[in-house]
Amino acid sequence: MSVTIGPHTFPVVHYDPSGDVLYLHTITPDHAVDFDDSPEGHGLRFGADGALVGITILNARWELEQHGKISLTLPAQHFEADAGALNGVLAAA
């Protein structure tokens, strides 16, 4: 069974009822290279390309029973351009 949240579909799903923790992954969890927390306190995992590859939702059943939904805020994407990418453009101006 897969789970879709917003534009993200997670084909790897595991629920731990004793801890009320829901694990969602697009790939094997050990392939994640970066980790962050959502403002709601859920764990976010990202791949080498910066794509979201996993979410750990704490108190999943409790959240659904109390609020009827689980809210999840993802961090805004951030991009950088280094001098190598910009020197030619800036020098020509």
Q: By the 8 A CB rule, do 55 and 5 touch?
A: yes
- What confidence score (pLDDT) does residue 26 get? 92
Please give the helix or strand (H or E) that residue 92 lies within, else none: helix 83-92
- What confidence score (pLDDT) does residue 90 get? 60
35-83: pLDDT as tens digits: 899 889 999 999 988 888 999 999 998 988 888 888 888 876 544 555 5
Reference 54, options 46, 65, 64, 66; nearest CA is 46
C-alpha–C-alpha distance, residues 83 and 90, integer Å = 9
Amino acid letter, 46: F
Region 18-33: mean pLDDT is 87
